[in-house]
Chain A
Amino acid sequence: MLIKRPTDISPSEITPRSLFEQRRHFLLGASSALAGAALWAALPRSGHAASRLPAYAPSPFSTSEEKTPLKAVTTYNNFYEFGTDKSDPAENAGKMSVQPWTVRVEGLAGKPRTFGIEELLKLAPLEERIYRLRCVEGWSMVIPWVGLPLAALLKQVEPLGSAKYVEFVTHYDPAIMLRRPVLSWPYVEGLRLDEALHPLTLLAVGLYGDVLPNQNGAPVRLVVPWKYGFKSAKSIVAIRLVEKQPRTSWNRAAADEYGFYSNVNPEVAHPRWSQATERRIGELRKRPTLMFNGYGEQVAGLYQGMDLKANY
């Protein structure tokens, strides 16, 4: 597949100065300690004092737009398992223990297996991807994720020809999470296999150069930048290759409002509000929402010939 670079990036911008500096900063930090998985496992899981991620490289898929401040990214979250107010996850997600952590990759695969988080980190070089995130509620952020392409993981288990979709099951522990059935728990999301294999689809393990804070979906989450944020499942425990379209949590809650595809589309309104504009967190005025959240050049091909109004 030919993957074009985003239009908003000129070649000279691909490795901006700030990134270089960040990388150097990181390398200094990393070389003075134990790099890699051992480090991940050994360090406590709070605070942002030092990076606890192995080395990562910048990505040509990154946008050069101004990043949303870390404070907003980590205090304004939708993670309904920890409460339905935006401030709830930051308050409550600390109760979740994220190590040890394993991800079962199963279903229609030649070599299904369970990966420890340390193994995941070694499947492919980590990259920083600065992506736009558009929430279905009408706000957006620009977030520097660190992760690896989901495709790198899926390749390991050798999907069978019969696998058409990928289902993501997330952590659910009623002892520390919401018990009211606001959504059907555990939270389930899904992608078509070709969407899951798309190079933009990221398995994120970090944010702003550090491991993911719990409220952002630690220790490993999906990031699908051309779809509404709820498609990017957090704190993933199982990935299943399946034949039939998965029954996702939001789709089950309100099928007319949250379609399986849920691609960002300014022309298809949510039944209760318009999706034509969005408020970038930190800005007062709304801005127009871009088709596929501005990633159309890379992903429009996935939906060729499809009626995006019917397949919202």
Chain B
Amino acid sequence: MSGPNTSFDPVEVTPLRADQVEEMREQAFAAIAGATDLAELKQVRLDHAGDRSPLALANREIGALPPQARKEAGQRVGQARGAVQEALVARQAELEAQHEERMLVEEAVDVTLPTTRRRAGSRHPLTTLSEDIADVFIALGWEVAEGPVVEAEWLNFDALNLGPDHPARTMQDTLWTEPADHHVVLRTHTSPVQARTMLTRKPPIHVVCPGRVYRTDPYDATHSPMFHQVEGLVVDEGITMAHLKGTLDHFAAAMFGDGITTRFRPSYFPFTEPSAEVDLICWICRGVNSEECRTCRGEGWVEWGGCGVVNPRVLIACGVDAERFTGFAFGMGIDRTLMMRYAVADLRDLFEGDVRFSSAFGTEL
């Protein structure tokens, strides 16, 4: 086979001499096989297939041969040159493949090296959960309504059937702004957005209102002066408590999984009548062997929020024809929903701004 290439010493080849042509071809093959890299092969190509190679020169002489000899000689030299060319191409491909293989091996890296030059960012789970909740209702064809956090007393209370001396005003201790006789509060619930919606839109109304609310609650593991609620409101002809139940069952399943439904308990809110508190089937134990369950503490149910049929007095204050339309409304704590869904032990984690908290939730829930 191939041995190391020695420097090539061209000899003259007579095209009429088959043995010489054959000899040249064999020499070329040997040189090609002996080329160990692409540079050597380049030299071999010049020596054996270049313009000044013996076979090329022999080829040139063919024209000067007598016509009867020309054909045979031409065939002989042509075949030899063709074979050499083929061998060169084959060897070229072989050497290129070898080269590439070696290069790829040499370029190998440790892919376990760290690659993160910049930490990932994240959104706050209250933001993303609010969006998720909104999306559940958007998918039902509802819209997202918004309103100011610093709100007029009339909208936060009076319009919602909470008169100036309503005992319920003490139920939600209010942060008032100065001067106190300006009748401006930090909204204590998202319900003023309900009122604003009814004041500005004509039924049918289907809105969901996630937002921030404030109360004079202490700041501890389960209370905060600032928290988040989502309010839902539907006003249309023929709306009933059954529609409320259907909507909340749908919402509960979207938030906590298939099969999680709600239970109503009679309750009292000035802005709804009848009113109910909403419990969820405990999504951890699903009411089976609840005694052991830490989420519902043996109840099989978990408190979720409040709801009811919109009190006609509220419809009237907001300019909705209470004879023709009925409505339902509900309100849930987003913080509470978040804490329940993700087993957040301390409410303060939501508001301390520790990057480890938000980061755990990523950009979408």
Pairing of A with B? no
A interface, CB within 8 angstroms of B: none
B interface, CB within 8 angstroms of A: none
